[in-house]
Amino acid sequence: MELTADEAREAIDKGIPLLQAGRVGVDPHAVEDELRRLSRNLAETAELGTAAQRTAEKLGAETVDLAPLLGPALSAERATIERAAGDLGVDADALAELLELALQPFLWEATARLGALTDIDRWDRGYCPVCGAWPGLAELLGPEKRRALRCVRCGVMWSWFVLLCPYCGNDDHRTLGVLQEEGSPSRVDVCRSCNGYVKAIPSYTPSAAVMLAAADVTTMHLDLAAGEAGYKRPGDVDVRTAGIPRLVRQRASYAQE
Ligand SMILES: [Zn+2]
Ligand SMILES: [Zn+2]
């Protein structure tokens, strides 16, 4: 059963990432083919004898039943992947990475379908509305530099206030700041409350999902600068309130009273 428009709207209202809220049709056999193709490539190009290379060789030669692994891989549920790696006799990190790569085109497709199903931009949380990951970067869009968060994993975009930390929900301008090299159009938004940071790059229009990983890599100098200044991604967040803006938390507690 695919997620309906009503279920998707309800999940967006409740802050539940859509891939957690319901099944999205991803054909395990198509992902298996992609995993085998990627594994064969990696087995040939990676350094011989490393854990990654041995894992790729095995996954390239065998057919792995991915049906029970798709859900855990989509929601980055580590324990199940580790058990599967143990059963297969392969390296867990390499398996997780290969699965992630194999799933990416299907994630992009799912994101596009979900975007047509419901208005994702109504999402008011700091984590990804589709897959639940933390944003990889922000784009500052158009001449007015409107800030939008981007999930590098599934490609989704959602609008976000400039003075709001996506990790801890802090919106106090006194503890929010910017690291920016003089003359550079890119910057790093930092939060002194949770020590988190988000890179921000100007872009006239939103980048295509397939370009985001490259944008993430070419702005690595911003990650280094943020790390040197003592910031990390995500910041130190409390699991109970992670990704929920202060105002949204207040609204929820008023509603309960
Ligand atoms: Zn995502
Ligand atoms: Zn914060």
Q: How far is the CA of 233 from the centre of ligand 1 (A)?
A: 15
Q: Which ligand is nearest to the CA of 134?
A: 1
Average pLDDT score over the chain = 91
CA-CA distance, 180 to 189, in Å (whole number)? 9
Q: Which residues are CB-neighbours of 33 under 8 A, at least 6 positions away?
A: none
Instruction: Name every residue whose Cβ is closer than 8 Å to that of residue 102 and which is 6 or more positions away in sequence.
Output: 31, 34, 35, 38
Nearest of 62, 129, 51 to residue 93 by alpha carbon: 51
How far does residue 93's CA lie from ligand 2's centre (Å)? Answer: 29
Cis upstream peptide for 135 (omega within 30°): no
pLDDT tens digits along 163-202: 999 999 999 999 999 999 999 999 999 999 999 999 999 9
| pLDDT above 90 for 239 | no
Q: According to the model, what pLDDT value does residue 225 have?
A: 96
At 25 the pLDDT is: 72
User: What percent of the chain is predicted at pLDDT more than 90?
Assistant: 70
pLDDT for the residue numbered 14: 94
Give the C-alpha separation, 94 to 3, whole Å.
31
Helix, strand or coil, per DSSP, at residue 147: strand
Half-sphere exposure for 134 (CA within 13 Å, toward CB): 18
Please compute Rg for the chain using Cα positions: 19
Instruction: State the CB neighbour count (10 A cutoff) for residue 2.
Output: 12
Ligand 2 centroid to 187 CA: how many Å?
A: 16
pLDDT of residue 256: 67
Q: Which ligand is nearest to the CA of 165?
A: 2
Ligand closest to Cα of 115 equals 1
pLDDT grade for 6, boundaries at 50, 70 and 90: very high
**Cα 164 to middle of ligand 2, angstroms:** 8
pTM, whole model, 2 decimals?
0.87
Per DSSP, the three-state class of 16 is coil
Q: How far is the CA of 242 from the centre of ligand 2 (A)?
A: 9
Question: How far apart are the CA of 173 and the centre of ligand 2, in A?
Answer: 11
Q: Per residue in 56-105, pLDDT tens?
A: 999 999 888 888 888 788 777 788 899 999 999 999 999 998 998 899 99
Distance 182 CA to ligand 1 centre (A): 32
pLDDT at 251 > cutoff 90: no
Q: What is the per-residue DSSP string for 151-187?
A: -TTT--EEE--TT--TTT----GGGEEEE--TT-S-E
Query: Which pLDDT value is given to residue 20?
Result: 85
Q: Does residue 1 register a pLDDT over 60?
A: no
Say if residue 257's pLDDT is above 70. Answer: no
Domains of the chain: 5-116 (no CATH), 122-256 (3.90.1670.10)
Q: Which residues contact 166 (CB under 8 A, 6 or more apart)?
A: 125, 126, 127, 134, 135, 149, 160, 196, 198, 234, 243
Q: Is 224 helix (H, G, I), strand (E, B) or coil?
A: helix
Maximum Cα–Cα distance across the chain: 62
Distance 152 CA to ligand 1 centre (A): 7
- Residues flanking ion ligand 2, Cβ below 5 Å: 165, 167-168, 170, 191, 193-194, 196, 235
